[in-house]
A and B are shown apart, each in its own frame.
Chain A
Amino acid sequence: ETGVTQTPRHLVMGMTNKKSLKCEQHLGHNAMYWYKQSAKKPLELMFVYSLEERVENNSVPSRFSPECPNSSHLFLHLHTLQPEDSALYLCASSPWVTTYEQYFGPGTRLTVT
């Protein structure tokens, strides 16, 4: 059973809406990640947080805004998205900022209309 939860599981939003994705990990980890998985494309790393500090931002458009208020919670704030932003957004955590044994949440299926 995964220790990483994500809400909502499904989200449909218009291009002018503002919404947020939430991720919570119950594993006592210090690093958290946002990934985007689009159909027929490799998984893309979006943001990395270590001890609530952002350590990596892989050239993600500013319409995606992450927030990490503490080591257990991670948010992805969305505004003025485009239809091509429709994808599965996965959150993950790991003990420290390392790619070893990342634990993934179930993802949020986002559809932008």
Chain B
Amino acid sequence: SQELEQSPQSLIVQEGKNLTINCTSSKTLYGLYWYKQKYGEGLIFLMMLQKGGEEKSHEKITAKLDEKKQQSSLHITASQPSHAGIYLCGADIKDDKIIFGKGTRLHILP
């Protein structure tokens, strides 16, 4: 069965530093979504990527989908305390199902 692997599982970063979170699939993805969840709360949609090589940015967050459409990275520049939370990738797979990774917990140290 297809799964989404997110890495790292947990990340502690000093405020102001850059960081990257990865989401990898063993099969081709038809759509890749990044969400952010504050602990114990709902998900906030960040970005959707569909085309191989596509890159999107929102404020200080940039997400890319590689050419083979099997891996996506989420990059945060100059991290702030407001970036703390759980980042979740979700993906469309062939039969219109959606699957999710287990999430990456991001802590920002002041």
Contacts and interface: CB of A to CB of B under 8 A. Distances in A.
Main secondary structure on B side of the interface with A: strand
Nearest to B98: A99
Contact of B45 (A40, A101, A105): A101
Interface in B77-110: 88, 90, 92, 96-103
A68 interface: no
Interface string B29-46: 001010100001111110
Interface in A27-47: 40-45
Interface in A46-96: 88, 90, 92
Contacts, number: 49
Contacts of B43: 43, 90, 92, 102, 104
A106 B44 CA distance: 9
Given A42-B4, A43-B90, A43-B100, A99 B31 contact: yes
B21 interface: no
B76 interface: no
5 contacts: A45-B97, A45-B98, A88-B40, A100-B48, A101-B45
Interface of B: 4, 31, 33, 35, 40-45, 48, 88, 90, 92, 96-103
